[in-house]
Chain A
Amino acid sequence: MSEALDVFTRIAVSLGAMFFLAGTVGLLRFPDTLSRLHALTKADNLGLGLIVLGLLPQVAWPFGALKLVLVWVLVLAASAASSQLVARKVRGGKDRS
């Protein structure tokens, strides 16, 4: 059982790292700010999500796991809000809310 979980961890963390790599390449290569934001948020949301998912079986249950999930949720909230702010700035500061 624990070996299966270790394999799961390796796969999920590697996949997460792949998303970070792809996100970084996108950040460097994409032509405009909005596309770069798109690449960046993929790294945050999916990359970090997969890494957290992969690490879940390796930490103390339940509080260690809760902390990891909390880290992911906080990064999601921060990256969503800051991407919105950057995107609005790019589109001329028109705030339609």
Chain B
Amino acid sequence: MNAVYGLFAGLSALLLVVAGFAVVTRRHFAAVVGFTAFGLLLSLAWVALAAPDVALTEAAVGGGVTGVLLLSASVQMRAKMEVLPSWGVRFIAAVLAAIVTAGLMLVVLMLPDEAPTLAPAAKESLAFTGMGNPATAVLMAYRALDTMLEKVVLLLALVAVWSLGRDHFWGGRPDFDFSTQTSGPLLLLARVLVPVGVLVGIYLFWVGADEPGGAFAGGALIAAMGLLAFFAGVARPPLVGSGWLRWAVVAGIAVFLIVGFGGFWGAGDFLAYPDGLAKPVIVVIEVAMTLSIALTLVLLVVGPPGRRP
């Protein structure tokens, strides 16, 4: 038992050190590398806390997608400007961040010794959802509304990114073309890894019903494969104006809403699943959601349209 506590203590100390490094370091690139390492270590911590679902999502989103997003942002900032925010702005940001941290610490310290839990109740109704994984049951059945709103937030982020494009580029491709400067190893990796990675992504989504995985982890992996294909120059980012792209981006939310309003008619409430059909309905939603998540994450990274259509 002591060895386990030692491992926890070591991991926690390492997390603090890496987090501190990411905040304190003055170079953007080093901060992004620190943040990515922090995400991967954090997912290890979730594994140690026996929460593999959270660990997978943290590794895919915190370590992967956010890292790539920040990296491309830091490259663009280096290219366009080297202006730091003023001292006032930085001071206010530091104060706000400190208040949030202090608030979180206070909440954790005030938790009662036997934390209130809904876990037994969640397990009890598991059979009605047709899911074997309680985390997926919470995401897709008990708290499906939250999951849907999460997708709306993702879509709003994409709208915000797209709105940064210039008017005359609207409908064109993002300026993310590496086909002229590609190199052998990257090309090979894109050709070998992308098909396997997409398959693993679909597997992650599928296995999410009964084991750790799910739409977000699977979608993030598929998104990474798409980005790899763009980086290697074997594929080009799609036209932002194309119809299929728009439909695919809103597919997850659209299916969610159709099922949601269908619930009034079929099961008597918004987002209620009809008896016995919960699993197939959830699978349909998750297929659409995985597609939308993968595409949205890719589009967030490649950025606003930067070429004439």
Q: In B225-255, which residues have CB < 8 Å from any A CB?
A: none
In the complex, what residues of B have CB within 8 A of residue A88's CB? Answer: 183, 185
Bitwise, A69-97 to B at CB < 8 A (1) or not (0) is: 01000100110110011001000000101
In the complex, what residues of B have CB within 8 A of residue A95's CB? Answer: 183-184
A-B contact count (CB 8 A): 27
Interface: B149 (CB within 8 A): no
In the complex, what residues of A have CB within 8 A of residue B185's CB? Answer: 80-81, 84-85, 88
Bound state CA distance, A63 and B111, in angstroms? 42
Bitwise, B178-198 to A at CB < 8 A (1) or not (0) is: 000001111011001100110
In the complex, what residues of B have CB within 8 A of residue A84's CB? Answer: 183-185
Bound state CA distance, A80 and B192, in angstroms? 12
In the complex, what residues of A have CB within 8 A of residue B186's CB? Answer: 81, 85
| CB-CB nearest in chain B for A87 | B185
| CB-CB nearest in chain A for B188 | A81
Q: How many residues of A contact B (CB 8 A)?
A: 11
Bound state CA distance, A79 and B207, in angstroms? 27
**B-side interface mostly:** helix
In the complex, what residues of A have CB within 8 A of residue B196's CB? Answer: 70, 74
**A-side interface mostly:** helix
How far apart are A49's CB and chain B's nearest CB, in angstroms?
Answer: 18
In the complex, what residues of B have CB within 8 A of residue A70's CB? Answer: 196, 200
Bound state CA distance, A80 and B188, in angstroms? 11
In the complex, the answer to whether A77 meets B192 with C-beta atoms within 8 Å is: yes
In the complex, the answer to whether B193 meets A77 with C-beta atoms within 8 Å is: yes
How far apart are B269's CB and chain A's nearest CB, in angstroms?
Answer: 39
Bound state CA distance, A95 and B184, in angstroms? 8
CB within 8 A of A97: which of B183, B189, B192, B197?
A: B183
In the complex, what residues of A have CB within 8 A of residue B193's CB? Answer: 74, 77-78
How far apart are B65's CB and chain A's nearest CB, in angstroms?
Answer: 17
Bound state CA distance, A88 and B183, in angstroms? 10
| CB-CB nearest in chain A for B185 | A84
How far apart are B203's CB and chain A's nearest CB, in angstroms?
Answer: 9
| CB-CB nearest in chain A for B203 | A67
In the complex, what residues of A have CB within 8 A of residue B192's CB? Answer: 77
Bound state CA distance, A85 and B188, in angstroms? 12
Bound state CA distance, A6 and B274, in angstroms? 49
How far apart are A6's CB and chain B's nearest CB, in angstroms?
Answer: 19
How far apart are A1's CB and chain B's nearest CB, in angstroms?
Answer: 28
In the complex, what residues of B have CB within 8 A of residue A74's CB? Answer: 193, 196-197
| CB-CB nearest in chain B for A88 | B183
| CB-CB nearest in chain A for B183 | A95
Bound state CA distance, A84 and B200, in angstroms? 25
In the complex, what residues of A have CB within 8 A of residue B184's CB? Answer: 84, 95, 97
In the complex, the answer to whether B189 meets A77 with C-beta atoms within 8 Å is: yes
Residue of A74, A80, A81, A84 contacting most chain B CB atoms (<10 Å): A81
Bitwise, B193-211 to A at CB < 8 A (1) or not (0) is: 1001100100000000000
How far apart are B33's CB and chain A's nearest CB, in angstroms?
Answer: 13
How far apart are A39's CB and chain B's nearest CB, in angstroms?
Answer: 18
A sample of 23 inter-chain contacts (CB < 8 A) reads: A70-B196, A70-B200, A74-B193, A74-B196, A77-B189, A77-B192, A77-B193, A78-B189, A78-B193, A81-B185, A81-B186, A84-B183, A84-B184, A84-B185, A85-B183, A85-B185, A85-B186, A88-B183, A88-B185, A95-B183, A95-B184, A97-B183, A97-B184
* Other contacts beyond A70-B196, A85-B185, A85-B186: 6, CB < 8 A: A77-B193, A80-B185, A84-B184, A85-B183, A95-B183, A97-B183
Minimum-distance CB pairs A-B, first 3: A97-B184, A84-B185, A81-B189
